[in-house]
Amino acid sequence: MNLLIPLIILFCISATGIILYFFKRINQTILNLLIALGAGSMLAVSLVHILTEALGSSELAIYAFMSGFLIIYLVEELLTKHHHDHKHGDHTHEDPHEHYNHVALVTGIAIFVHTLFDGLGIRAGFGISNTLGYSILFGVAIHQIPVSLSLAAILQESGFRRRTQIGSLILFALAAPIGFYLSDVLLSHTSEIFTALTTAFAGGSLLYVSAADLLPVVHSQSRYKYLTIACFVIGVVGMSAVKLLE
């Protein structure tokens, strides 16, 4: 069965975040709202999607999940600079771009790993029936939209070059198709437990980023505070509802 067209559509949907780069300047409020949406979405993805699926394969997944959370915490605390102050007269302020460099990096890697295994899930679904396969593909496509937009917003806040930002989004969009086409190779050379531990580790790191790095953005908004909170709640509830649909 030729699934090239559905996978191309999935790629295009996953690359939704590139839309932000068609604008010369994005209002900071819009970026903050998208980051709030991303914080909620990624919180739900890490707990509702990744952790529950990993625990279904191995009880050890909870330790891999906590390891992912702990290691990213230690990396952030010990190996990266939290801020870079600039003096302006009698006051200083923190440069947010340096902070978002590692946030974007960790988020991108964790989401890529998760989406790669989504591709394996799509392939496995089609192995059972076309209906199940398309259902899983549809569920993955739904949650790719807010994740892609949120990732794009985080990348725009980082200090990475524009070319690197767009390349990262394209790589993220390719994750599910890559996982789909590599499914036979990956499944034949890796055990179910290894897969569960790998995805759980990525889920733990994603939880840390969403809770420790992105959620404070929600707390810090005094302007459009309730709209920002609403975006966060929509992200949590929306991603949780997608899991029920799947």
Query: For residue 95, is pLDDT > 50?
Result: no
The SS3 assignment for 148 reads helix
CB 159 within 8 A of CB 99: no
- In the structure encoding, which two tokens stand for residue 232, read together? 């966060």
pLDDT, mean over the chain: 82
Tens of pLDDT, residue by residue over 9-26, are: 889 999 999 998 888 777
Residue 124: closest CA among 172, 192, 193: 192
pLDDT tens digit sequence for 78-89: 765 554 444 434
Residue 84 token pair: 């870079």
Write the CA distances from 40 to 54, 115, 236, integer angstroms.
Answer: 20, 17, 4
Looking at the chain, the whole-number percentage of residues with pLDDT higher than 70 is 87
Domain residue ranges of the chain, discontinuous segments joined by +: 32-81+95-245
Question: Looking at residue 129, what DSSP letter applies?
Answer: -
104: pLDDT strictly greater than 60: yes
Q: What angle do CA 155, 194, 60 make, to 5 degrees?
A: 95
Please state the pTM of the whole predicted model.
0.73
pLDDT tens readout for residues 177-193:
998 888 867 666 677 78
Q: Which residues pair with 94 in a beta bridge?
A: 85
Give the pLDDT of residue 237. Answer: 93
Are 132 and 191 in contact by the 8 Å Cβ rule? The answer is no
